[in-house]
Structure 1
Amino acid sequence: MVTKKNKRKRLFILLATTVSFCLLILYAFIIEPNRFVVTRHQLNQQFASNNNSFKIVQISDLHLKKFNNRAQHIAEQVNKLNPNVVVFTGDSIDKVEQLDGFDRFLSLLNKQTAKYAIMGNWEYWAGVDLKRLTKIYATYNCRLLSRWAEENRNV
């Protein structure tokens, strides 16, 4: 027999679960994709004390769906940091159709800055054309670090 107290308890659990799920969805689709975090790490005191610095910008999990204000903002922020190297550590795009938007994103980054990239699981799952991706990266002074790209460098 379900008592009034048990009904309230079940309703509370259902409500708490629903709210938690909604907050998780909100975080996953609105907050997390728009997070842009800059952290600074000093690796060697002696090197830094001579007013020398070496800046590395890591871009990970961009999941660029299309070129938009978010992509433009990220490119602007990267350029403001004036890095020596930019590294793309996977999941730059989710689908093959997004290569044009990613090409446009890369075009906004300082071409003189050395760039290196690896593919993430999303690029593999999407079946990205490695020849085209390698060519896009190369256009913007970026080297795709993959066995295929290395073997087909001069193709």
Structure 2
Amino acid sequence: MRNYKSTHIQYQIPKDYLNKVNIVSTMPTLVIIAEQSPEQNLFLHKILASVQLVDQQNTSIEILKKDQVLNFNLLNLKSTQEIIAFGIEPNQFMLNGFELKHHIYEFEGLKWLFCYEIQTYQTDETKKRQLWNALKALKQLK
């Protein structure tokens, strides 16, 4: 750990705070999810299939740790047009101003959709409906 001091607060930041993650996507859609159970993974694939998103055909799925931080500028997104993040917060990409869930943001030539964790949609019908509407809108934007 390294110690950094500000005038008011002392921070201890782990040396590996910015983990080196090699995300390379050549698919039009990149789905980034927080770690989850096999049951939740199956549910995710059903959600994606409902809007014709299929892993390794037109979609790339990447799994991150819940608290992992990435530098958006280091992602290698060759032909990616949209990013859907489940259980990942915008600040994990060092992005600010993307706080609304189920809202389509356009930034750096990409469409971004931030969503709750998968298990939220297994139990909350209202949020599941909001997700469905957002995914439909995202796919119609193309």
TM-score of the superposed pair, with normalisation by structure 2: 0.32
The structure whose residues are more often helix, as a share, is: 1
Which structure: greater strand fraction? 2
Which protein has greater RCO, CA pairs closer than 8 Å, 6+ apart? Answer: 2
TM-score (norm 1): 0.30
Q: Which has the larger radius of gyration?
A: 1
